[in-house]
Amino acid sequence: MLKRTINNFILLTLIISFFIVFVFPIQSAKKQSIKGKTTLIKKTKPKSTSKISKSKPQAKSKVTKSKSLTSTKVTKSKKKKKLQPYVSEIVFDTLLADGIKYYNQVMGRGRRLHSIHVIETNIEKNPHSLEIIKGQDLSNELERLSEMMSRFSQTEKSDIAGAVNGNFWRAYKNYPIGPVVVNGEIVEMNKYKEWSSGFFDKKSRIFVDNFQLSCSLTLIKGNSIEIETVNRRRDTSGNVMYNRFGGKQIPFIEESNLKKKIDDAVNEFMQDSIFTDSTEISFEIEKLKKEIISSELANKVEFSLKKISLKYLTLPMINKEIKCTVIGIDTGAVSIPADGFIVTIGTNDKQIDMPSIGDTVILHAKTNRVNAIPFLNAISGTPRLVRNGLAKHEAYYEGSKGRRFIYKQLPRTAIGTNRSMTKLYLVGIAANGVKPGNIGASLAELANIMKSVGCFNAMNLDGGGSSGMFIGGRNVLRHSETGLFRKISVGLAIIKNK
């Protein structure tokens, strides 16, 4: 009995072990797999179902919204930004002389229109019609355009059809910026950055490019003197040429500064004077003036430098060799000869073999481009507006980055020529509000205007407060006759044929 019980116990143990080792793990694994599947099904199916069910309506609603928004915007923009018809109409034109006409044209849309004033000259009929006028005939002086015109008409006995402002100029020093040439004589030689210049040949045809002038004086023995600047000295080292635009003598003393010094000295003299006789006082004042002038001259750098005085034997011109004769060699204060000039020798050329009085020397001023054509006149500005028919301003290339200068709708002045170079256009854009709705022009707008006027090549001149165009004694770019017009450095005038 006991033996059977033990056997039964062993058998039961074996059966239980079998279930523990083999049966329970299988069932547990099956349950886990079933649970996992159930979980996955429960988690993924509802999620995917919810995503599908949610995403579709959202996509539809987005599409519906975007469509409705688009349609709303289009509808609104049509109402708000409905383009007004483009206007281009000549409101006034007149013949100033044979081959010279002036007209006022409006361009733009709606009530915001550019008022464009144009002097168009047929240079085939008027080959010598252009004149460059320098303020007070001095390189560092300014003058109102109306005063320039009046002075020029009186001295040259010429009738001016119309005129505009020219070069930009340096504040305080008042020198024009960039090359200026008047009837073959250089007023300002050096270019600024990559600014454009307009050089005029004998027929008044304008060539617009990034010109640079250079100048030299070739002596009889073959050696040459390179000219560094014209009508102003930077330092003691270089050679400088002075002509009639540099003053009456070199060193040149500005009369306004000299007068103030003399007045102050005279006042002080009168207070401390021991003289009572009026004749003695007058004599002493004149003596005092001479002493002040001598002192001012001695203080100038140029005073101690050697000076070669020369006279033109042929008319001065750019890109031509001009014969000159030496009429004097000196130091101290030297008067600039009529129809001639002075070259002062800087410290770098102290050992130069100086010419003798009576020697014939060659003055040669030339451009870096288009140097086969002789030029009589030149002005400078920035930027180029039209290049070979393409209306696109070149402000960034030429070194101008000011946002106001480039993008602001300002009064503007520009010059250009047609493809065949038979016409010269002087163009002015009126200031804002001269007439109701009138606006100035950005550089991009000005470029397009110059092309529409007929320019194949064009460049911008000084503008803003300097912009002026005088027709019949009136500044057509401003409200009043003088138009609160500021003093400027350079003017361009169109002369009627006599």
Q: What share of the chain is helix, strand, coil (3-state, %, to 5)?
A: 35, 30, 35
Q: For the chain, first and last CA: distance in Å?
A: 160
Query: Is the C-alpha dihedral spanning 151, 157, 158, 160 positive or negative?
Result: positive
Which DSSP state fits 143? B
Cα gap 102→120, rounded to integer Å: 6
Cβ burial, residue 496 (10 Å; 0-12/13-18/19+): middle
Distances (CA, A) of 439 to 49, 153, 283: 63, 33, 61
Residue 489, φ and ψ in degrees, nearest 5: -95, -40
The CA R_g of the chain, rounded to the nearest whole Å, is 42
Q: Which two tokens stand for residue 434?
A: 């001269």
Adjacent-strand bridge partners of 378: 181, 199
Residue 381 CB neighbour total at 10 angstroms: 27
Cα gap 146→151, rounded to integer Å: 9
SS3 490: strand
Residue 110 CB neighbour total at 10 angstroms: 12
- What CA dihedral angle connects 378, 182, 427 and 120, to 10 degrees? -100
SS3 414: strand
Cα gap 137→144, rounded to integer Å: 12
Q: Which two tokens stand for residue 145?
A: 């355009």
Cα gap 266→283, rounded to integer Å: 12
| Residue-level pLDDT at 402 | 94
* pTM across the whole model: 0.78
| H or E element in which residue 377 lies | strand 377-381
Distances (CA, A) of 296 to 257, 300, 301, 319: 10, 7, 10, 37
| Residue-level pLDDT at 65 | 42
Helices (H) and strands (E) in the chain, counts: 8, 29
SS3 417: strand
| Residue-level pLDDT at 327 | 98
Q: Which two tokens stand for residue 212?
A: 């640079």
Cα gap 114→85, rounded to integer Å: 14
| Residue-level pLDDT at 307 | 96
Q: Which two tokens stand for residue 239?
A: 């050679």
Cα gap 249→253, rounded to integer Å: 8
Cα gap 193→382, rounded to integer Å: 10
Helical H segments across 110-229, by residue range: 145-156
SS (H, E, C) 428-455: EECCCCCCCCEECECHHHHHHHHHHHCC
Cα gap 374→245, rounded to integer Å: 21
Count the alpha carbons within 13 Å of 462 in the hemisphere toward its beta carbon: 27
Q: What is the mean pLDDT of each run of 10 residues along the chain (498 residues)?
A: 65 68 54 45 41 41 40 48 81 95 93 93 91 96 95 93 96 92 98 97 97 96 92 91 96 73 69 50 70 68 93 98 97 95 92 91 97 98 98 97 95 98 97 81 97 98 95 85 74 90
> Vertex 99, ends 96 and 100: CA angle to 5°?
35
